[in-house]
A and B are shown apart, each in its own frame.
Chain A
Amino acid sequence: ETGVTQTPRHLVMGMTNKKSLKCEQHLGHNAMYWYKQSAKKPLELMFVYNFKEQTENNSVPSRFSPECPNSSHLFLHLHTLQPEDSALYLCASSQGQGDNSPLHFGNGTRLTVT
Chain B
Amino acid sequence: KNEVEQSPQNLTAQEGEFITINCSYSVGISALHWLQQHPGGGIVSLFMLSSGKKKHGRLIATINIQEKHSSLHITASHPRDSAVYICAPHTGNQFYFGTGTSLTVIP
Instruction: Give A residues with C-beta under 8 Å from B.
Output: 2, 37, 40-43, 45, 88, 90, 92, 97-100, 102-108, 110
Contacts and interface: CB of A to CB of B under 8 A. Distances in A.
A82 to B, nearest CB: 21
6 contacts: A41-B99, A88-B41, A98-B92, A100-B31, A103-B33, A103-B88
Interface stretch (B42-50, B55-63, B75-83): B42-50
Contacts of B50: 100
Contacts, number: 53
Interface in B49-95: 50, 86, 88, 90, 92-95
B45 A42 contact: no
B107 interface: no
Q: Tell me the dominant secondary structure on chain A's binding face.
A: loop
B95 A90 contact: no
The 6 closest A-B CB pairs, nearest first, are A107-B42, A105-B43, A108-B41, A42-B97, A43-B97, A98-B92
